[in-house]
Amino acid sequence: MNQLQVHVKDMQQWQSSEDFARRLEDFKSLPALYRHALNELENKIDVVKTEWQVRDGYSPIEHVKSRIKEPKSILRKMERKGHTFTLDNMEQHIHDIAGMRIVCAFVKDIYRLVDHLCVREDLKVLEIKDYIAQPKPNGYQSLHIIVAIPLVLLEGTRWVKAEIQLRTLAMDFWASMEHILYYKFDKQLPPHVAEELKEAARAADELDQKMLRLRREILELSEGSRSADKQAEE
């Protein structure tokens, strides 16, 4: 927490050492709160994955990753957004302190999962940003949703926000490579590299669409085969 203390003092947003100590103690308690919320969300997604696997013999969820945002990253983001560092501001304006990434095999699976989350009664979907339908200028594709998870605490129920990013395997690979290159070039990609990345994003999208068509064709062939077998038995 030393890096956090130095950074906050440099910002000169807290007027007294007593105020600083109080707010720092409050800040220290937040990771546990968001970790509890993330654990709850992980459990819910795990149940969904298991249910679909048992019911349909197939789960749209390939794998899940989660993380709690580092304190220094939270402070940098608040600076960037122009917000004074208070716990209220942090909870109101920083929605990705708890973050989850869900990777699915097919684009259709992403929307299927989001539709399911939207009708659940044990969480609230607050915001949806669809970068699949409308990719970012650099080619980035993903679907982001902000959810609120209820935590039953000693003082009552508290709703804690988390961000979920949903991608296909192809989108996830592209995003990982883009991230590596972005920081390799100190966040300033040469124009030709940026253009090549856009081309790669389009290729990833074409691959997703092709795999979805192949899946649909396989399912249709499988259904036709079962119908033929049933007629033969009759």
Judge whether 163 counts as a catalytic residue. yes
Q: Which token pair is 226?
A: 């079962």
Instruction: Catalogue the long-range contacts made by 84-93 (C-beta closer than 8 Å, 24 or more residues apart).
Output: 84/13, 85/8, 85/11, 85/13, 85/14, 85/23, 86/23, 87/23, 87/26, 87/27, 87/30, 90/30, 91/161
Q: Which residues pair with 68 in a beta bridge?
A: 98
User: How far apart are the C-alpha atoms of 146 and 129, rounded to whole Å?
Assistant: 9
User: How far apart are the C-alpha atoms of 222 and 213, rounded to whole Å?
Assistant: 14
Q: Which of 127, 163, 178, 195 is catalytic?
A: 163
- Annotated catalytic residues are 163
